[in-house]
Structures are given as C-alpha cells and as structure tokens.
Amino acid sequence: DTEVTQTPKHLVMGMTNKKSLKCEQHMGHRAMYWYKQKAKKPPELMFVYSYEKLSINESVPSRFSPECPNSSLLNLHLHALQPEDSALYLCASSQALLGGAGYEQYFGPGTRLTVT
Amino acid sequence: DQQVKQNSPSLSVQEGRISILNCDYTNSMFDYFLWYKKYPAEGPTFLISISSIKDKNEDGRFTVFLNKSAKHLSLHIVPSQPGDSAVYFCAAKAGANNLFFGTGTRLTVIP
C-alpha cells in the first residue's frame, strides 16, 4: 500500500473561519510533510515532521498550524487565512532519516483550498 | 532562487517515440534526484530516482541519466504512450534536507 489519503478534496473557507486539513498514511513512514502548490508552480515545502516531531518549518505564517497526533496522521489547522493562501495543499510521507527528510516521498492527492 | 530548473515548459511527442525530459540544477551538494509525474487534480506520483554515485537508472520504459559535471539529468520514456501525458517534475535533495522541485514540463503524447 503506497497510498497517502487527504481530506477534504476541496475546501472553501472565509477569512475568519477555522478549518483543518487531514492526511493519513499506513506505510510505516516516520516522516510526513506539508507542501503548498500554486498554479503552474512547483510544490513548496511548508513543514516536515520526523518521528512525530516538527523538524522543519519553512518560515510559514502562524495562521498555518501543523499537528502530528501519531505516526500515521498529519493535520494542518487553518485560521484567519488570506485569499492569497488559496492553493493546492499536498501531504507527503517517506522513510525518515535522522535529522530531517527521507528519500522517495509519496504524495496524497491534495486538498484544493479556496479562501474567500 | 530556483536551484532546480526545467527549461522546457512543454513537450509533444508521437506515440511510440522517445520522450526526453531535461532538468538542470545549480547546487553541487545535491546527492539524490527524483522524477515525479502529476496528473491534474492529483498529487505527484513518484516515478524513478537516482543517487549521485550512479549515472543511469532504469525501470521498465523509464530511464534517468545523471551528468554530474554538467549538473544535468534527463528522463527518457520509451516507447511513449498516451497515458504518459502529464506534468513531470524533477526534484533534488542534499543529504537529509528538503526536496527542491523544478517548475515542471507538460508532456503530451499524441496517439
């Protein structure tokens, strides 16, 4: 099973809302990632969790708050977003290396977020 | 600063012929390279990878070539099939660090 699942597939939220994106994998991977992808651009790394601990935060605004409740789950809590935060949010997982990110990363299908 | 570049935004190839997708990088510390394929409304799918200690890796119809002196890698797909039509991203990493993605090349295989 090389599947990473993400819910919801689509999300529309207002600038005052609070919502959460969810990601799950059952490959035994101990590194999980959040990426943001705008149209016609490559994915941009936001956060990396290694062994359920946040190891990389790429200077992401505090209105994005990640959480890794266990080795299979990764959440991204959203609050007071801006319209420019509208994008495809991708979750990925990989075997973890000590200190950071692993090699082949397996991606979920993404959540298409629209902030109005 | 884009450390991984794919200078061709699009490529069209006839079915059955070879598709060659190119990627250049600037960081000499990169030691692992990957190709991903992305269909619309889906996440990137891992295709093939190569370590910097090799210059070629093959998996079925897909072969990746690495030229470290030129800081260049390429993905060859042969024979190309209509189902290969997608956006292809190359990515690179240095040790345990983040993946850096190129901007993608849209491949269209014409039946």
Instruction: Report which DSSP code applies to A100.
Output: B
Q: CB-based burial of residue A36 (10 Å sphere; 0-12 exposed, 13-18 middle, 19+ buried)?
A: buried
**Amino acid A59: pLDDT:** 84
- pLDDT means per 10 residues in chain A (116 residues)? 88 93 94 90 90 87 95 96 95 76 82 95
Rounded mean pLDDT of B15-38?
95
CA distances from A28 to A22, A25, A71, B33 (A): 17, 8, 8, 23
Using a CB–CB cutoff of 8 Å, tell me whether B34 touches chain A: yes
Whether residue B90 has pLDDT greater than 80: yes
Using a CB–CB cutoff of 8 Å, tell me whether A56 touches chain B: yes
Could you read off the pLDDT of B8-17 as tens digits, one per residue? 999 999 999 9
Contacts of B44 in chain A (CB under 8 A): 43, 90, 107
- For A7, phi then psi, to 5°, come to -135, 150
Contacts of A43 in chain B (CB under 8 A): 44, 89, 101
**Amino acid A41: pLDDT:** 86
**Which residue has better confidence, B67 or A101?**
B67
Q: CB-based burial of residue B42 (10 Å sphere; 0-12 exposed, 13-18 middle, 19+ buried)?
A: middle
**In a 3-state reduction of DSSP, which class is residue A83?**
helix
**Amino acid A39: pLDDT:** 84
